[in-house]
């Protein structure tokens, strides 16, 4: 079961609670300005009765589905599904709640926060790269959902850390939102010291610059071939499992192994 479908008033109340816990006012205002039906869908997650722990790690995978990724379609599916297998094979499986988004000309929510053992693997029909790259719009949706759902859990006594990982091979070319807006929200999340913001750049010459544009401090470069894409998903899964074992707020050295 998922939490009740929230409305905008519910989300604004949750953002107010997040501000009382350190979320910056500017970040909250930007997220509120961008609330729509897609954002609200991303604010859902497993109901409290379906979570068997009082300490959870929220993981949002944000996957590039633009046309330039078409040759890597199977590698992305293999990588993502192997990542789920790694989560499910760990002692933290029940405490890792996963949400998956992809983006081309617009954002697509595949599923909201679900305990990893209950997540269905992505299929060929669900990931079909085409079109442009609306990364900024998608990240604002993802951030709104993580803040709202995470705050719901914290309001009910569940210790919560959040990890957002972007998997992309290029810069934004299709968003309405601007990079500075995303970066401002990133700064606001980092101020709470419970979030990890990570960027995996596939075959781009300067992934550090692209990550900096959206305020993501943890960066890992990779080649553009299938083996590199699979490797990065394995790296991310190991990093998520390691972070999920740490104390909430213990730091942001995500790709350190």
pLDDT tens-place string over residues 44-95: 999 999 999 999 999 999 999 999 999 999 999 999 999 999 999 999 999 9
Sketch out the chain's domains with CATH numbers.
8-244 (3.40.50.410)
Reported as half-sphere exposure (CB side, CA atoms, 13 A), residue 124 has a value of: 2
| Distance from the first to the final alpha carbon of the chain | 35
pLDDT tens-place string over residues 149-166: 999 999 999 999 999 999
pTM listed for this prediction: 0.95
Are the C-beta atoms of 153 and 160 separated by less than 8 Å?
yes
CA distances from 247 to 18, 64, 105, 159 (A): 19, 30, 37, 10
Are the C-beta atoms of 115 and 96 separated by less than 8 Å?
yes
**What DSSP state is assigned to residue 199?**
E
Measured CA to CA, the distance from residue 186 to residue 164 in angstroms comes to 10
């Amino acid at each position: 079961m998922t939490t009740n479908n929230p409305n905008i008033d519910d989300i604004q109340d949750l953002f107010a609670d997040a501000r009382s816990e350190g979320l910056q006012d500017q970040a909250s205002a930007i997220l509120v300005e961008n609330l729509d039906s897609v954002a609200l869908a991303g604010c859902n997650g497993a109901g409290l009765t379906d979570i068997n722990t009082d300490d959870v790690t929220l993981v949002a995978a944000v996957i590039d589905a633009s046309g330039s990724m078409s040759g890597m379609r199977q590698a992305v599916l293999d990588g993502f599904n192997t990542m789920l297998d790694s989560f499910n094979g760990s002692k933290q499986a029940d405490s890792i709640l996963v949400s998956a988004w992809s983006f081309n000309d617009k954002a697509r929510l595949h599923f909201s926060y679900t305990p990893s053992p209950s997540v269905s693997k992505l299929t060929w029909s669900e990931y079909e790269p085409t079109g442009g790259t609306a990364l900024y719009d998608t990240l604002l949706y993802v951030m709104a959902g993580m803040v709202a759902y995470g705050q719901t859990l914290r309001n009910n006594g569940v210790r919560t850390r959040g990890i957002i990982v972007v998997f992309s091979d290029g810069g934004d070319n299709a968003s309405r939102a601007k990079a500075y807006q995303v970066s401002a929200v990133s700064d606001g999340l980092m101020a709470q010291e419970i979030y990890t913001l990570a960027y995996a750049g596939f075959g781009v010459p300067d992934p550090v610059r692209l990550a900096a544009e959206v305020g993501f401090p943890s960066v890992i470069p990779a080649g553009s071939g299938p083996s590199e894409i699979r490797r990065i998903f394995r790296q991310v899964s190991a990093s998520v499992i390691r972070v999920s074992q740490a104390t909430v707020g213990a730091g942001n050295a995500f790709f350190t192994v």
